[in-house]
Amino acid sequence: MKAIVDCNSFYCSCERLFKPELKDKPVVVLSNNDGCIISRTDEAKKLGVGMAAPYYQNKDIIEKNDVAVFSSNYHLYGDLSRRVMDTLRWLVGEENVEVYSVDEAFLSLDTIPPDQLQAAAVRIKKTVEEWTGIAVSVGVAPTKVLSKVANRLSKKDKRGTKGVMVLNDTSAIKQALEMTLVDDIWGVGRRYAMKLHQTGIDNGWQLSKMPEEWARKNLGGVVGVRLIKELNSIACIPMKDPLETKKMIATTRMFGKPVFEVTEIKEAVATYTARAAEKLRRQFSAATMLQVFVVTNGSRNEKYEYSPQSRYQYTTFPKATADTGELIRYALPLAEKLYQPGLKYLKAGVILSGLVPDSSIQSSLFTRDVDHKKRYLMDAVDNINFSHRDDMVKYLASGLKRNWKMRQEMRSKRYTTRWDELYEIM
Partner DNA sequence: TCTGGGGTCCTAGGACCC
- Grouping H, G, I as helix, E, B as strand and the rest as coil, residue 28 is strand
Nearest residue (CB) to DNA, 233 versus 313: 313
Beta bridge partners of 169: none
Query: What is the nearest approach in angstroms of DNA to the Cβ of residue 249?
Result: 4
309 binds DNA, rule: CB under 7 A: no
Q: How crowded is the C-beta side of 142, counted as CA atoms within 13 Å?
A: 13
Query: What is the nearest approach in angstroms of DNA to the Cβ of residue 416?
Result: 20
Q: State the DSSP H helix or E strand holding residue 195, giving kind and residue range, or none if neither.
A: helix 190-198
CA–CA separation, 91 and 96 (whole Å): 10
326 binds DNA, rule: CB under 7 A: no
Query: What is the nearest approach in angstroms of DNA to the Cβ of residue 35?
Result: 3
Interface residue with DNA among 349, 371, 398, 404 (CB under 7 A) is 349
User: Which parts of 92-121 interact with DNA (CB under 7 A)?
Assistant: 100-104
The length of the chain is 426
Q: How crowded is the C-beta side of 310, counted as CA atoms within 13 Å?
A: 12
Interface residue with DNA among 21, 64, 304, 373 (CB under 7 A) is 304
Closest C-alpha to 138, from 235, 17, 1, 233: 1
CA–CA separation, 426 and 375 (whole Å): 44
Q: 301: phi > 0 → left, psi -120 to 50 → alpha, else beta; which?
A: left
282 binds DNA, rule: CB under 7 A: no
Q: State the DSSP H helix or E strand holding residue 82, giving kind and residue range, or none if neither.
A: helix 74-92
Site string for DNA, 386-425 (x = CB under 7 A): --------------------x-------------------
Nearest residue (CB) to DNA, 36 versus 164: 36
Nearest residue (CB) to DNA, 118 versus 218: 218
CA–CA separation, 324 and 398 (whole Å): 11
Site string for DNA, 215-254 (x = CB under 7 A): -----xxxx----------------------xxxxxxxxx
**293 close to 338: Cβ distance less than 8 angstroms:** yes
Interface residue with DNA among 22, 25, 35, 172 (CB under 7 A) is 35
Site string for DNA, 165-204 (x = CB under 7 A): --------------------xxxxxxxxx-----------
38 binds DNA, rule: CB under 7 A: yes
274 binds DNA, rule: CB under 7 A: no
Give Rg (Cα) of the chain.
Answer: 24
Residue 412 one-letter amino acid: S
Contact residues: DNA, CB under 7 A: 31-33, 35-36, 38, 52, 54, 56, 100-104, 148, 185-193, 220-223, 246-254, 257-258, 275, 279, 304, 306, 316, 346-347, 349, 406
